[in-house]
Chain A
Amino acid sequence: QVQLQESGPGLVQPSQTLSLTCAVSGGSISSGGYFWSWIRQLPGKGLEWIGYIYYSGSTYYNPSLKSRFTMSVDTSNNQFSLKLNSVTAADTAVYYCARDRHSSGYSEYYFDYWGQGTLVTVSS
C-alpha cells in the first residue's frame, strides 16, 4: 500500500519561500509508470492542481497558476518537493501530494493515493 506524507512549516511569512516535501513509502518513485502531483485546497474548499513531476525530474505546471512553483525529486530518499516563492495570504491552503496516473494525452487523469495534507498559513 502506497503512502505519502507531507512535511513542512505550518507558518510562512509573506514574500518568503514555502518549501514542502512529500515522502513516499510502500513503493519506489523510481519504478516508473506513475507521476507525482501537488494539489492544494484553499479555504472554503476549492481544490487546485499545481502540477506533477516524474522520477526523471521532468515537470509540468498548471498554466493557470503563476509560475512561482518549483518541483523537484529526490529518488535516493524516495521523496519529492515543492517550493513556492513570494508567498502571499492567498497561498494559505492545505497542500496535498498525490500519486498521479494519467495517459499520454491526459484523457485519463486521476490521483489514486493522497497524503494527509499539511496546512500552510501565510502570515506575519
Chain B
Amino acid sequence: QSVLTQSPSASGTPGQKVTISCSGRSSNIGTNNVNWYQQLPGTAPKLLIYNNDQRPSGVPDRFSGSKSGTSASLAISGLQSEDETDYYCAAWDDSLHGVVFGGGTKLTVL
C-alpha cells in the first residue's frame, strides 16, 4: 500500500486533456513539494514535473502540474500515443522522514 494514492489507471483519446491525481496527507503533500515521474516500459523513471509545477528542460509544455491542499495533479494536454505509460507522484513525508511515492497510474491512449 503506497503512502500517496493514485488511481491505477486513466485513459484518453489523442488530442484530449487528461488529469492524473495524487492524494496524500498534511505530512507529505500538504507541506512539501510534489514531483511527477514518467516511466516508459523497461526504462527508469524520468523526472517530468518538480516542485509542484516546474518542468525540467526538454519536457513539453503539454505537461503541467498543480497542487492544492493534500492533493496534486498532473495534466497532459494534446494527448499523444507516446504518452501511454506509467506516471508516479512523490514527495517528502515529514512523519515518515523519507521520500514516499504513489502506486503509479497507467495511462492508456485509446
Which A residues have a C-beta under 8 Å from some C-beta of B? 45-49, 62-64, 96, 102, 106-112, 114-117
Contact A46 B51 (CB under 8 A): no
Q: How far is the CA of A57 from the CA of B43 in the complex (A)?
A: 29
- A46 near B90: Cβ-Cβ < 8 Å: no
A114 nearest CB neighbor, chain B only: B44
Q: B54-68: which have CB < 8 Å to A?
A: 56
Question: How far is it, in angstroms, between the C-alpha of A62 and the C-alpha of B98 when the chains are bound?
Answer: 6
Taking a contact as CB atoms under 8 Å apart, the answer to whether A63 and B98 are in contact is yes
Contacts of B86 in A (CB 8 A): 45
**In the bound complex, what is the Cα–Cα distance between A109 and B98 (angstroms)?**
10
- B residues in contact (CB < 8 Å) with A: 2, 31-33, 35, 37, 43-47, 50-51, 56, 86, 88, 90-92, 94, 96-101, 103-104
On whether the beta carbons of B35 and A109 are closer than 8 Å, the reply is yes
Q: Are A102 and B44 in contact (CB under 8 A)?
A: no
**Do A102 and B101 have beta carbons less than 8 Å apart?**
no
Contact of A49 with B98 in the complex, beta carbons under 8 Å: yes
Residues of B within 8 A of A48 (CB): 101
For the complex with contacts A45-B86, A110-B33, 18 further pairs of A-B residues with Cβ separation under 8 Å are A45-B104, A46-B2, A47-B101, A48-B101, A49-B98, A49-B100, A96-B44, A106-B94, A107-B92, A108-B32, A108-B51, A109-B90, A109-B99, A110-B47, A110-B90, A111-B37, A112-B50, A115-B44
B103 touches A109 (CB 8 A): no
CB distance from A111 to the nearest CB of B (A): 6
A3 to chain B, nearest CB (A): 11
Known A-B contacts A108-B51, A110-B35, A116-B44; A47 and B92 likewise in contact (beta carbons under 8 Å): no
The answer to whether B88 touches A106 (Cβ under 8 A) is no
